[in-house]
Structure 1
Amino acid sequence: MDKNTFVMFSTEHLLALSVLLFCLLILFILKFKCSTLFKNTILIERIFALSLLVMEVSNHLVLIHANEWSIRESMPFHLCSFSLFISILLLWTGNKYFYDFVFFAGFGGALQAVLTPSIVVNFPDFRFIQFFYVHIGIILTAFYIVWMKGYVPTFRGVLQTMIALNVLFPFIFAINILVQGNYMFLRAKPINGSLLDFLGPYPWYIFTLEFVAFFIFVAIWLIFRKWNRFQNKDAPKQEESSFAEQNY
């Protein structure tokens, strides 16, 4: 096999996953070491937001330069593309209306993406680096708003995210028909295998995915809810996060 072809769970893939775990560990340590600094500073958030935007724009420029950009495959209409842009807006503005989508849909979608990447190129190809940078960036943003900004996940956030996705799906499905594309994998499963392989054939896996996504979001909510209660068992219960009240 060509060494420039991506192989799932290859050395390069495992190293990328290790980078994600290392970054999460650093972020978790910073939560206890200098959380006050991060709560009062937006410079790092905006620098990171700009880096995500630059990586995304650069990827499109690389595809255009290589004559590989196409309306069928390259437009930013995948779930993680929406999550990326909403993450950028969240980091730049601190607007509370963005964090539920990033935390549930962004984290859930990006985690599956890094575990089962739908890419064909391998390191050191820029597209490999860009893919993992932006998807890891979405995950780090989701954890950042919880650990550093004090966001408390709510069940209402789960429902709002599900509603947003179901509003979005018909438009993406229509776009797929118009351009003969496969955005959000609504017409076919990812090439390298994914969770969708266990959800039945087309088109039934789309309906099954609705239930799986809901249960994944609920599981994420319950895990972080329990963690938050453990961390704040002696503090008064709070329904809204401090981050939810911020608008930079």
Structure 2
Amino acid sequence: MFTTKHFIWIGICILFILIMNHYAKKEDFTLQNACYFFMFICLLSETTKMMSDMIPSTHGGMHLNPQSLPFHICSILLFIAAYITFGKDGPLKQKMINFFAVVGTCGGIAAILIPTYGVEFNVANVYQCFMYHAALTWFSLYLIRFKHANLGMQAFKDNLVVLFALLIFNLYMNSILAVYDTNFMFIVRPPLEGLPFLNLNHGYYIYLFRIIMLGVIGLSLFHLPFIVKEKAVRQKVILTSLSPQLFLYQEKPPFYAGGLYYESIIESILNVGSHLIDDGYDEFIMITADPLHV
């Protein structure tokens, strides 16, 4: 980890992401174009992994190593990518895009930084791992950059629920396949030995708590700027739609303090005050000039 060969692979992945990002912008990739390209990479990746991870079967022949089943978070994204590519447009597809954009970016970068297959240049799975996760990172960033993903508060809640559901699912899958020493989503043990934070030095439950909190914090920080932007846009729309007339002539209170900035509340008060002064000025003059005026 972070050896010379690892840095070379990181450089290759960054170069691939930058080239694809430039090409997608230059060629004005549609979502369908990007999906087809990524699905092609997925096909190559899974074919390479399956051909490389076949092991002898007990009664003859070969079968896929259960450790290579697609239950890691990045592998699960294969099926989500297929749905995005071929599925019907609608709320479910949008939720899939929102989930893919966040988890694909975080998972892809994490997999490049923590190479579970090693960094040797003569191992097929190393090529598969780095190139797939580079393509995964690019496609996820594409969904964000070209505004296919909506990463506001609702998307944050949805993604959090899906992540916890996958956590529970893989707790069961790792238990069912414990004889094969599976470690899907790395909730059995750390992805590599000697990691500074993700380790078993303080026991398994502390490790599990750390990896869950790392996921929650990472998801929160990723969504935070989009949530702030969403809130700012919503408040701008509200402020634009409101006018002094709404404050002056509506029978019900035209706004709620929790929905606007303090500046807009003060401005509204000043608008109402100005209106009262304008309407009452002549009346005030008449009263002071004629005390008997009713």
What is aligned with 2:129?
A: 131
Q: What is the identity, as a one-letter code, of the residue corresponding to 1:60?
A: M
The yes-or-no answer on 1:85 pairing with 2:79 is yes
Please give the alpha-carbon distance, in whole angstroms, between the structure 2 residues aligned to 1:19 and 1:226: 34
Q: What is the identity, as a one-letter code, of the residue corresponding to 1:221?
A: H
Distance 1:84 1:137, change over 3 A: farther
Distance 1:228 1:207, change over 3 A: same
Give per-residue Cα distances to partners, 1:167-206, cap 9 Å, x unaligned. 1222211121122122211211112455523995312222
What is aligned with 2:8?
A: 15
Report the 3-state secondary structure (helix = DSSP H, G, I; strand = E; otherwise coil) of the residue aligned with 2:95. coil
Distance 1:55 1:27, change over 3 A: closer
Aligned positions of 1:201-216 closer than 5 A:
201-216=203-218
Give per-residue Cα distances to partners, 1:134-165, cap 9 Å, x unaligned. 11121111101111344342122222111112
Contact 2:84–2:97 at 8 Å: present in 1 too?
Answer: yes
Contact 1:187–1:203 at 8 Å: present in 2 too?
Answer: no
Please give the alpha-carbon distance, in whole angstroms, between the structure 2 residues aligned to 1:161 and 1:222: 13
What is aligned with 1:63?
A: 53
Please give the alpha-carbon distance, in whole angstroms, between the structure 1 residues aligned to 2:23 and 2:228: 21
Contact 2:49–2:128 at 8 Å: present in 1 too?
Answer: yes
The yes-or-no answer on 1:75 pairing with 2:83 is no
Q: Which of these residues, 148, 156, 159, is aligned with residue 157 of structure 2? A: 159
Aligned positions of 1:109-124 closer than 5 A:
109-120=107-118, 122-124=120-122
Report the 3-state secondary structure (helix = DSSP H, G, I; strand = E; otherwise coil) of the residue aligned with 2:199. helix
Please give the alpha-carbon distance, in whole angstroms, between the structure 2 residues aligned to 1:14 and 1:226: 35
Please give the alpha-carbon distance, in whole angstroms, between the structure 1 residues aligned to 2:113 and 2:192: 13
In structure 1, the gaps of 5 or more residues are 1-7, 238-248
Normalising by structure 2, what TM-score?
Answer: 0.64
The answer to which structure has the higher helix fraction is 2
Deviates more, 1:180-189 or 1:15-24: 15-24
Please give the alpha-carbon distance, in whole angstroms, between the structure 2 residues aligned to 1:108 and 1:198: 23
Q: How far apart are 1:133 and its partner, in Å?
A: 1.4
Contact 1:59–1:130 at 8 Å: present in 2 too?
Answer: yes
Distance 1:150 1:75, change over 3 A: closer
Aligned length: 223
Contact 1:114–1:132 at 8 Å: present in 2 too?
Answer: yes
The yes-or-no answer on 1:188 pairing with 2:189 is yes
Give the greater-gyration-radius structure (CA). 2
Distance 1:32 1:136, change over 3 A: closer
Contact 1:114–1:136 at 8 Å: present in 2 too?
Answer: yes
RMSD, aligned CA: 3.3
What is aligned with 2:42?
A: 52
Please give the alpha-carbon distance, in whole angstroms, between the structure 2 residues aligned to 1:122 and 1:200: 32
Please give the alpha-carbon distance, in whole angstroms, between the structure 1 residues aligned to 2:41 and 2:3: 27
Report the 3-state secondary structure (helix = DSSP H, G, I; strand = E; otherwise coil) of the residue aligned with 1:122. coil
Percent identity between the two aligned chains? 22
Distance 1:167 1:44, change over 3 A: closer
What is aligned with 1:217?
A: 219
In structure 2, the gaps of 5 or more residues are 57-61, 239-294
Greater RCO (CA < 8 Å, at least 6 residues apart): 1
Q: What is the identity, as a one-letter code, of the residue corresponding to 1:70?
A: N
